[in-house]
Amino acid sequence: MKKKHTILLHILFWSVSLTTIGLEAFPYIGNDSVSSMIYDFAVSVSSFITIFYFFYFFISDKYLKKEYVKYLIIFGILFTVIVSAVFTFIDVYLLEREVLDLNGSGFLREYGKYFYQFLELNFIYALSGSLIKISFMLCPVR
């Protein structure tokens, strides 16, 4: 695929994604401060871009061979969980500091809620990065 077309597809993908993520903030306008919404948007988008492009650039013909696929899946899941945990901590530290003051099961419940939100969306972006890269590899357009 020509580089120009690849760039245009990435711009289209991220335009739709970022618009959708931004529209999710509308119900919170007036309830949350603008700075907290910007922090939340920035942390979320940073997480999604990190996951997406890691998988996009990491996937290659070499790793799609039968003997490597299981390692790719295991490594991908571990990487996604670790990145989700890191960005969850950043999000909680910047926006939800009261969660860090909780003890025991209260902390686990509240932190887990934020972690699973990040994990769910990060898996979607990991799959998106992988599938887009695989589709470019399998169906080159000239």
pLDDT for the residue numbered 33: 75
Q: What is the pLDDT of residues 19-40, one digit of tens each?
A: 988 887 777 676 767 777 788 8
Segment 75-122, tens digit of pLDDT:
889 999 999 999 988 888 887 777 777 777 778 888 888 899 889 999
Distances (CA, A) of 24 to 17, 76, 106: 11, 27, 27
Phi-psi domain of 104 (left: phi exceeds 0; alpha: psi -120 through 50; beta: other): left
Q: What is the pLDDT of residue 122?
A: 93
Q: Provide DSSP, 109-122.
A: HHHHHHHHHHHHHH
Share above pLDDT 70 across residues of the chain, in percent, rounded to a whole number = 93
